[in-house]
Structure 1
Amino acid sequence: MKQISSTQNPFIKSLVLLQEKAKARKQSGTFLIEGQREIELALKGGYELETVLFVPELVDYSELQKQLPVSCEWIEIHKEVYQKLAYRDTTEGIIAVAKMKNHEIARLDLPKNPLVLVAEAIEKPGNLGALLRTADAVGADAVLIANPKTDLYNPNIVRSSVGCLFTNPIATGSSEEVITFLLQKNIAIYSATLQNSNAYHENDYTGPTALVVGTEATGLTAAWREAATQNIIIPMSGTIDSMNVSVAAAILLFEAKRQRGF
């Protein structure tokens, strides 16, 4: 088995770039997954792993190795090399290099009566990761990211989603592409916005439904307000008129699931 002990190794340097630069991820079509649980979720989600790097004194990799094809390369690394690559503060001792998936919206396959979360132009990776966790928790059929502003394989998204990046069906596209897709599929659009809205709990989400949220700073663009079957609002009693986007999405999604009987 190959061993790497130096942080100056050219391969290790290339992996550091994958961790730090969206351009490097895009050019190579690969990204890093840190942690055994996240790696196992990626395998469950159908991701292909090229390489696994591990610190033998920190992790028992025997069970994971049984789940991977023989074509996956295993490399033993020193703890200092791992710390150079690791994004998280906690030390688990294992990192994988995985191939990205194609997230074109035309490739998305939905069930007959889908419940979909749409997130437009979310800039903060942590917020997008939290949205993916929320969608996974509620069992949403897909997450559509309209006008994406951050690289989907940003390490902070991988971390903050706790691996839910790999368990959710995800598609990306412009707002116009996503709206066209939803209308072609006869999916009702409920846009969370202040303008021309009614209270979210007054609507029927038992049919094919897309719940749409935008940024906390600017909200949804006009395209979503105009395309909506109904604009919706979450009534609030505080002194501010907005909440974290993942919290808003959770309220809407769990109301839809409540109506559907979970």
Structure 2
Amino acid sequence: MEYRRSGSAVIESLQNPRAKQWTQLLDKKGREKQGRFLIEGIHLVQEALRSELPPETLVYSAAREEAVEPLLQEASALGVECLAVTEPVLAKCTDTQTPQPVFAVVPKLPWRPQQLIEASRRDGLVVVIDGIQDPGNLGTIIRSADAVGATGVLLGRGTVDLYNPKTVRSTMGSLFHLPIAEGALGEWLPKAAEAGIHIAATSLQGAVSCYEHDFRPATWFVIGNEGAGVSAEALELSQHQVLIPMRGRAESLNAAMAATVLLFEAMRQRGIIFHSS
């Protein structure tokens, strides 16, 4: 049985040029070449459709069209291209073991570090990522930043790819809710400091408790690599060093947990409501 939508036949061949393009987006080189990435599943596609950066193309299983009918209507109203494919094509183009009924092709986020500086001048709060390697950790930090209404996230060089499918899934859609930019910390931390923004880093040496540090002024705080911590370069560029005091016997928290503690302490100090856009 052939399924059709808007007069277009279902894409059945794995050799179809569009299917080949989508498959390339599972690889970082393909994403960099095309300037696009994939999001999988009803929730992520829905978040993208309702963001300022809607998808270019929505691809769905012809066999499961009823499950995504509301998404198709929403996408069509926005002028998003909607294409039906067979289950084998869907499985080939997606990263999950059990493919969701829909994925979408989305342009890479347009944010730049300078925009984070401009947005931070008043009382902004930006999480700076220094070499985190685990996709789940990065995604969780982005979700936590979104949860407290942070101004944005800056990804330093050497950090896991934001558009890695595992990273994208672990953000649960939060990557569409706040600016996320990429840039060299050696360049952008000094520029933020010149703009009057406080630069803080997590550290175990010469640091004050995060509960004593004042997070109310405009602040960028650096979270380091899971094993090595904040790099020597970023520590040198930081004006403040903070730690999370612990009463138990655990040596440390993982990067995502540490970032979340600091973000919620900043929110508490700021009276819950942030004023930055």
TM-score of the two chains, using structure 1 as the length reference: 0.91
Say whether 1:202 aligns with 2:212.
Answer: yes
* 1:96-116 Cα distance to aligned partner (Å, 9 max, x none): 111112333123341521111
Residue number in structure 2 paired with 1:51: 57
| Deviation, structure 1 residue 195 | 1.8
Say whether 1:115 aligns with 2:134.
Answer: no
Could you list the runs of 5+ residues in structure 2 that have no partner in the other structure? Answer: 1-7, 273-277
Partners in 1 of 2:228 and 2:205 — Cα distance?
Answer: 13
Amino acid at match of 2:61: V
* 1:145-203 Cα distance to aligned partner (Å, 9 max, x none): 12243222111111111111221211111111221232132111221011211111111
Counterpart selection for 1:259 from 269, 273, 276: 269
Could you list the runs of 5+ residues in structure 1 that have no partner in the other structure? Answer: none
Mean alpha-carbon deviation: is it higher for 251-260 or for 159-168?
A: 159-168
Partners in 1 of 2:234 and 2:71 — Cα distance?
Answer: 47
Given that residues 190 and 237 in structure 2 are in contact (C-alpha distance below 8 angstroms), is that contact kept between their aligned partners in structure 1? no
Partners in 1 of 2:126 and 2:115 — Cα distance?
Answer: 15
Given that residues 200 and 219 in structure 2 are in contact (C-alpha distance below 8 angstroms), is that contact kept between their aligned partners in structure 1? yes
Counterpart selection for 1:126 from 118, 136, 141: 136
Residue number in structure 2 paired with 1:61: 69
Residue number in structure 1 paired with 2:232: 222
| Deviation, structure 1 residue 63 | 4.5
Partner SS, residue 212 of structure 1: strand
Given that residues 2 and 74 in structure 1 are in contact (C-alpha distance below 8 angstroms), is that contact kept between their aligned partners in structure 2? no
TM-score of the two chains, using structure 2 as the length reference: 0.86
Given that residues 72 and 82 in structure 2 are in contact (C-alpha distance below 8 angstroms), is that contact kept between their aligned partners in structure 1? no
Partner SS, residue 202 of structure 1: coil
Residue number in structure 1 paired with 2:10: 3
CA RMSD of aligned residues (A): 2.0
Given that residues 51 and 97 in structure 1 are in contact (C-alpha distance below 8 angstroms), is that contact kept between their aligned partners in structure 2? yes
Partners in 2 of 1:70 and 1:126 — Cα distance?
Answer: 31
Partners in 2 of 1:173 and 1:218 — Cα distance?
Answer: 20
Say whether 1:191 aligns with 2:227.
Answer: no
Residue number in structure 2 paired with 1:242: 252
Q: Which runs of 4+ in 1 moved over 4 A?
A: 67-71
| Deviation, structure 1 residue 76 | 1.0
Given that residues 58 and 80 in structure 2 are in contact (C-alpha distance below 8 angstroms), is that contact kept between their aligned partners in structure 1? yes
Equivalent residues, number: 261
User: How has the CA–CA distance of structure 1 residues 70 and 216 changed in structure 2, closer, same or farther, with 3 Å as cutoff?
Assistant: closer
Partners in 1 of 2:184 and 2:125 — Cα distance?
Answer: 20
* 1:84-105 Cα distance to aligned partner (Å, 9 max, x none): 2222244431111111123331
Partners in 2 of 1:3 and 1:93 — Cα distance?
Answer: 14
Partners in 2 of 1:247 and 1:219 — Cα distance?
Answer: 13
Partner SS, residue 49 of structure 1: coil
| Deviation, structure 1 residue 7 | 2.6
| Deviation, structure 1 residue 122 | 1.1
User: How has the CA–CA distance of structure 1 residues 251 and 62 changed in structure 2, closer, same or farther, with 3 Å as cutoff?
Assistant: closer
Given that residues 133 and 226 in structure 2 are in contact (C-alpha distance below 8 angstroms), is that contact kept between their aligned partners in structure 1? no
Amino acid at match of 1:13: K
Given that residues 148 and 173 in structure 1 are in contact (C-alpha distance below 8 angstroms), is that contact kept between their aligned partners in structure 2? no
Counterpart selection for 2:170 from 157, 160, 167: 160
Mean alpha-carbon deviation: is it higher for 82-91 or for 154-163?
A: 82-91
Partner SS, residue 228 of structure 2: coil
User: How has the CA–CA distance of structure 1 residues 185 and 125 changed in structure 2, closer, same or farther, with 3 Å as cutoff?
Assistant: same
* 1:117-147 Cα distance to aligned partner (Å, 9 max, x none): 1111111222111111111111111111122
